[in-house]
Structure 1
Amino acid sequence: MDVIRDAGVAAAIECARALAPRTGVERVAVPDLAGRALAEDAVARRDLPPVDTSAMDGWAVRGAETPGDLRAHGESAAGAPARAAAGPGEAVAVSTGAAMPGGADAVARSEITRVTGGRVHVTEAVAPGRDVRRRGELIGAGATLLPAGHRVWPHEVGAIGALGVAEVLCHRRPRVAILATGAELVPLGTVAGVAQVHDASRHGLAAQARAAGAEVVASAVVGDDLDATVRALRQLLDGEPPPDLIVTNGGISGGVHDHVRPALARLGVTEVLRGVRAAPVRPTWLGVRDGCVVLGLPGNPASAAVAFHLLGRPLLGGHDDWWRRGALATAYATREGRAELVRCAEGPGGLVAMAQQGPHAITSLAGARVLAWLPEEGTGVASGEEVPVSRFD
C-alpha cells in the first residue's frame, strides 16, 4: 500500500472514510438511539396517522351542510373515538388528535360555532377536508423514515418511536482507546510546575470521540520513552475487547522525543497517511493493524482537537457537514499552498475568527462553534466570501 504523504484536506477526509472500522450490530431500544448509526431502515409498522384525525378542537361535520344548524351527536376524544358516525344534519364534538367519526369530512373550529341546547350553529362555510389530518399523510405502513447508515440525532428519537417499533438494529459503537504522550503532563487538579502542563487534551479528545458516537474503552498517558511507548501501545492494541480506533496525542513528529511512529512500526502497524496539507493539523498520521485504525494527532491541544474533528469523525462514521458554507465577518490572510481550518465563533455579521489561532491555543476552543476551511490556493479570503464550514461540535 502506497503511503499518502502531505495530503490535501479532501483527500485526507476520503482516506479516513475509507478506513472507518466496520463494527458489528446490536438491537438498541428507541430511548437509547441518540447518536447511534442505524444498521437497518427505520420502517413504519402502520400508517401515521393511523386514521383520519382532527387537527383542531371543534365539531366534526359534513362540509356541504355548513353554514347551518346541526344536531349535537356524541363526542370523539383522543384515545376514545365516537361510538357512532355523524349522520346527515349532525355534528360530533371532536378534540385535536381524535379520530374523525364516520360520515364527517371536515372540522368546524370551536370559534366559528355556537352551541345552544342540543344544537350546534356553524357560522361559516367549512370546506371538505378542512382541519382533517389524513390517514398515512405523514408516513405509510412499510415506508422508510430514515435509511440504514443514518446517525440518529436526539430530536429524531421520538419520530422513530412513533413508527410503532421498540428497538432498531444499530451498528455497535466503535471502541476508542486514547494515549497521550509527554513527560510534561500532570493530572488535572494538581499543581503544575513551570515546565509542566495539565493533561487536558486527552480528556477533550475523549469527549469529542463520545460526541461522534464512540465508546471510550481505555485512556492512558506515557512519557517520552520509546520502550514505554511500545508497551503502552501494545497494551491498547491487545485490549480485550480490542479497540476499533486508537487515538494518540503527541509524539507523532520526527523529533528526538517523538516515539509514536517508531513504536507503531515496531508493533506492525502499517502507515497509510502521513501529514495533511493544512494548518493547524499538519503532523496528523493514519495507520492500520488487523482491523484496528490508529489516528496519530499532534501534541498541541488546539491542533489535536481540530485534527480529530477533521479525521476522527469520519473514522467513527460521524456527521459530515462540510457541504455547508459560511462567510467570515472580516478578511483573513493565509499562506499560499496550505489550507487553514480556522476556529470561529458565530456573530450577527458572520463568522468571527477566534483571536488566537496558534496550534497551542487551547483557550481558542472555548466559544468556537464552527471550523472554516480556507483554501490552499491564494493568500486569504475577503470579508463576506463564502467558504466550506463544519459545525465544531
Structure 2
Amino acid sequence: MLTPAAARARILAALSDVAPLAAERVPLADALGRALAEELTAARDVPGFDAATMDGYALRAADAPRAGARLPVAFEVYAGRPAPAPLPPGSCCRIFTGAPLPEGADAVEMQEEVRRAGRGPAAFRRAAEAGRFVRRAGSDVAAGAVALAAGAVIDAGVIGLAAGLGRTELAVRRRPRVAILPTGDEVVPAGRVPGPGQIHESNGPALAAAVREAGGDPVLLPIAGDDPETLARALEAARGLDALVTTGGVSVGTRDLVRDALVRAGARLDFWKVAMRPGKPFTFGRWERTAVFGLPGNPASALVTFELFARPALRALAGLAGTGRVTVPARLAVAQEKPAELAVFVRARVRRSRTGLVVEPLPTQLSGHLTSVAGHDALAVLPAGRARLARGTEIEAVLLQAPPEP
C-alpha cells in the first residue's frame, strides 16, 4: 500500500498536465483568495506626484540651511487639490499630509518643528533637509514596474494594491468546479425522514464546505443509490468538470459499486488503498481531464482523506501552492495505541502550554461518528512503524486553524 505522503505526491504528479487551470478576469470583489494569473504592473507612477507625509510646511531646503531661518508663508496646499502656484523663492507654504508639493519645493518640515504667530512668517527650529517628509512620485511603484508576480495569492492587501493601481479587475486562475456525489441506499437528504435502516446524508454538505475552503466551486449532486444504472446516470452529471468526489462504495463489499461504475464510465484508476486510518479504502484516478477522488463513506474517513489528498489537488488546480495548512510539532496529551503498519490521523484540539503545543484527541475517534469530526482544529499524525505512543510523545500536528491563545 502507498503511504499517505506517496499517495499525495502521486496525485499531484498525475494532475501536472491540467494544473493550474486557465485564467479568467474577475472584479476585485471576487478575487480574494485566488491566485494571480499574470504580473500586476503599474501603468503610472504610484504615487503620481511628490506628496507631504506630515502636516507642516513645504519649502526649498536651500532656503533654511540652519536653525532659525524665517520664511514667509505664500499659500496653503490641501490633500486632493493641486498647489495654486509654484513656490516663490525664499518662501514656504502651509501643507497637509497627502497634499502634492508645489513646484520648487523639495522638503517638508513637520509643524511641531516650526513656530508661527498668526499669519506671520514661519520660523524653523532646525535646518531643512531635502526629501524630509516627502513621498516621491513612483516611490511605491514606478510606472512599468511589476508590483506583484504571477502566482501570488490575492489577499486584502493585494486588492488594495490593485485598486491603488487603478485596476477594477484581475486575471486569476479559475476555481476548479467539483462534483460531489454521495452514494448509498442507506442515506437520505436532510429534511426527509429516514426510513428503517436509513440515516441522513451528511458527507455532501460537509465536503461542499471543504471544497469552498480549498478554493473550489462545489456542485452537489443528488444521492445515487447502490445499483449500476443509477450510478452510471449520476456520473454523467459530473462529466467534464474539473474534479469528481464520490463518497461510499469504494471498499470491498458486494454493494460497493462505485469503483466499477467509474471504470465502466471510462475513468482510469491509479490506486485504491492507502496505509492509513481513517480512510484506508481511498481511490484516485483520472476521467479524461477530470480528477477523480473516491472517498470512503464514513464521515471521518471522508473528511480526513479529502483534507490529505483532495484539498492539495484542488489548490494545485486553482494555482495555489501547497496545502494551505501548517504542520507543527506537538505533544500528545494522552497515550495512543494503533496498528503499527498504518499512519493514523487523530482528530484533536490543540492547546498551548509553557513547553509548546499539546494535542488532545476528541472523545470519540470512531470514523462513523459525526462528532469525531466536529470541533477539532488539528490532525495529530501518529506515524506508521509504532503501535503505542506514550503520553507526552512529540508528533506532528496539521493545524486546521490557529491554536487558541493561552
Q: Which TM class, normalised by the smaller chain length?
A: 0.7 to 0.9
1:368 has 2:337 as partner: no
For residues 62-109 of structure 1, the C-alpha deviation after alignment (integer angstroms, 9 at most, x for no partner) is 456264333223233332132334455433323322223344343322
Q: Give the structure-1-normalised TM-score.
A: 0.85
Alignment RMSD: 3.0
Which residue in 2 is equivalent to 1:297? 295
1:131-170: per-residue Cα shift (whole Å, max 9, x none)?
Answer: 3333333333333333333342344322222233233223
Alignment of 1:334-345 (within 5 A): 335=338, 336-345=340-349
1:299 Cα deviation after fit: 1.0
Which residue type is aligned with residue 10 of structure 2?
A: C
Over the matched positions of the two proteins, sequence identity in percent amounts to: 38
Cα deviation for residue 296 of structure 1 reads 0.8
> Which AA in structure 1 matches 2:91?
E
The equivalent of 1:35 in structure 2 is: 33
Partner of 1:3: none
Counterpart residue identity of residue 359, structure 2 = V
- Matching residue of 1:262: 260
* Structure 1 contact 284–296 (Cα < 8 Å) conserved: yes
Any conservation in 2 of the 1:181–1:250 contact (CA below 8 Å)?
Answer: yes
Is 1:18 the equivalent of 2:44? no
Superposition pairs of residues 197-208 of structure 1, within 5 angstroms: 197-208=199-210
TM-fit CA distance, 1:246: 0.8
- When the two structures are superposed, what TM-score results if normalisation uses the length of structure 2? 0.82
Map of 1:71 onto structure 2: 72
1:227-376 aligned at under 5 Å gives the runs 227-237=229-239, 242-316=240-314, 317=316, 318-321=320-323, 324-328=326-330, 330-331=332-333, 333=336, 335=338, 336-349=340-353, 350-355=357-362, 356-376=364-384
What displacement does 1:270 show?
0.5
- Change in Cα spacing, 1:276 to 1:57, as seen in structure 2 (3 Å) is farther
Query: Is the contact between residue 115 and residue 121 of structure 1 (CA under 8 Å) also seen in structure 2?
Result: yes
Q: Deviations over 1:213-245 (max 9, x none)?
A: 2222342211222332222223322xxxx2111
- Structure 2 gaps of 5+ residues are none
Amino acid corresponding to residue 100 of structure 1 in structure 2: L
| 1:189 aligns to 2:191 (yes or no) | yes
Aligned residue identity for 1:320: G
Distance 1:197 1:56, change over 3 A: farther
Mark the CA change 1:222 to 1:144 in structure 2 (over 3 Å): closer, same or farther.
same
1:111 and 2:109 correspond:
no
CA shift in 2, pair 1:328/1:179, >3 Å: same
Task: Give the aligned residue type for 2:40.
Answer: A
Bigger Cα displacement from structure 2, 209-218 vs 62-71: 62-71
Cα deviation, 1:172-213, whole Å, max 9, x if unaligned, reads: 322211100122222223444674322222011112212222
Q: Residue 348 of structure 1 aligns to a residue in which SS?
A: strand
- Do 1:46 and 1:164's aligned partners in 2 also have CA atoms closer than 8 Å? no
1:172 aligns with 2:180: no
Equivalent residue pairs, number: 384
Asked if the contact 1:322–1:389 (Cα under 8 Å) also holds between the matched residues in 2, the reply is: no
